[in-house]
Amino acid sequence: MKLPAALACCIMALTVPAHSAWSGPAQYPIRTITLSSTVRCRITLGPDKPVNEPTYVTADGEWKRLEVKKSATGTFFSLPADAAGFTIILLDRPKWLSLPDTDAPVLKAAGIGDMALSPNGVTMDAGHFFETPSRIVFTAADQLNPINGDAITVLIDGRKVSEYGGKVKIEQSADGKHADIIVTPGDLAKREHTVTLIVPDATPRRNALKLGIAFSTAPLVANGGFEKANRNLVATGWRYAAWGVNKDTKWKTIVAKGEGHTGSAVKMTGIGGNLYLIVGQESKLVAGQTYIFSGWYRSEAEGGCGVSLCGPAVGDLKQQYVESPKFENTAEWTPFSWEVTAEAGHTSFEIFVFSKGKGVSWFDDLELMPKE
């Protein structure tokens, strides 16, 4: 078994090769050897590798002084009995290093765009943005040891920020225990995204803060033009249903290709019986926010048509269900716009287009935007 060329060692019965790290972050260098062995062993370091106050960690996590000896060929030591199995050997203990330290840096603050986030768990959900936020900022701190700024990792959807044309800037305090990580995301597609942050400290164990921010730039109405559908002509991202049906209810809802205001449209046909036809989609609305639901329609349904919003019941909070005023029947494509507030307290929402009674209603090019 052979160690890296930087070490001249005589080792017996190691289960895996030793790993050496002769330098840590540029501003906080450390020299360590990581060993995994089943029995005690002896390690010799060449004369060009002096050691100063060497220490090792026991199986119980205690850091102890390592006894070393010198010979004509260099410095050597035997692995202590309480280090058998796995240990980290610190060849030079820097004055700035505080041990033991098993705690990772902590997140002190985070923000995305102009919105501040409250650190709460592994992944924070920042909600919806109509454009990619101009910047994302994290502030991390460590009480005992400096942060390893050279090893901070930021990924967007598992890829380097630079792959999107973005940048990561890191600003550390004089003692290294405080770091601001400023992310310029770059050019992101309009969909859901996750920013992953890994912030290690500069200790031999590399204790690391790991967290993420999830956000979406996808339209609040997905497939609002009804151009995507499966083989059964069910629009992707939408559900079809009929409410209050009886034994005589007959209905049909499809994506009608070529019948839309532009391209395809959703077409609801009431044939018989009780008829309250809906096409619905869950949408990531912010409770308490007012929105403008707009689009195009045409209808010949006997009971008229319109749009609606539903916020399911939560605990003692009753369901919110509100409909727009009934749209007047028209044979021509006609624009509509409806203002609605997502009631505070609800954790999810669903938007609908509906058609009542016998006859046909079409909807197309739907959009949902917050009211400015």
| Greater model confidence, 37 or 254 | 254
Give the model confidence (pLDDT) of 187-211 as tens digits.
999 999 999 999 999 999 899 999 9
pTM for the whole thing? 0.73
Residue 240 has pLDDT above 60, yes or no: yes
State residue 13's pLDDT score.
31
Residue 123 has pLDDT above 60, yes or no: yes
Task: Provide the pLDDT confidence category of residue 59 given band limits of 50, 70 and 90.
Answer: confident
State residue 9's pLDDT score.
38
Residue 22 has pLDDT above 90, yes or no: no
Give the model confidence (pLDDT) of 112-121 as tens digits.
999 999 877 7
Class of the CATH-defined domain 239-370? mainly beta
State residue 26's pLDDT score.
63
State residue 118's pLDDT score.
84
7-11, long-range: CB < 8 A, 24+ apart: 7/33, 7/43, 7/45, 7/46, 7/49, 8/44, 8/45, 8/46, 8/73, 8/74, 9/43, 9/44, 9/45, 10/42, 10/43, 10/44, 11/37, 11/41, 11/42, 11/43
H or E element: which one contains 209? Answer: strand 208-216
State residue 23's pLDDT score.
40
Q: 3-state DSSP helix/strand/coil percent for the chain, to nearest 5? A: 5, 50, 50
- Cβ neighbours around 209 below 10 Å, total: 21
Within 13 Å of residue 212, how many CA atoms lie on the same side as its CB? 13
CA distance 189 to 219: 11
Task: Provide the pLDDT confidence category of residue 62 given band limits of 50, 70 and 90.
Answer: very high
ω before 17 within 30° of 0 (cis)?
no
Give the model confidence (pLDDT) of 321-365 as tens digits.
999 999 999 999 999 999 999 999 999 999 999 999 999 999 999
Residue 189's SS3 state is: coil
State residue 3's pLDDT score.
42
**Average pLDDT estimate for 136-160:** 96
For the ranges 80-84, 224-228, 332-336, the lowest mean pLDDT is seen at 80-84
Q: With left for phi above 0 and alpha for psi between -120 and 50, is residue 15 left, alpha or beta?
A: alpha
CATH second-level architecture of 106-216?
A: Sandwich (2.60)
Q: Where are the domains of the chain?
A: 19-92, 106-216, 239-370
Task: Provide the pLDDT confidence category of residue 246 given band limits of 50, 70 and 90.
Answer: very high
Residue 5 has pLDDT above 90, yes or no: no
State residue 27's pLDDT score.
74
The tokens for 323 are 């409909």
DSSP symbol at 82? G
Residue 14 has pLDDT above 80, yes or no: no
Residue 7 has pLDDT above 70, yes or no: no
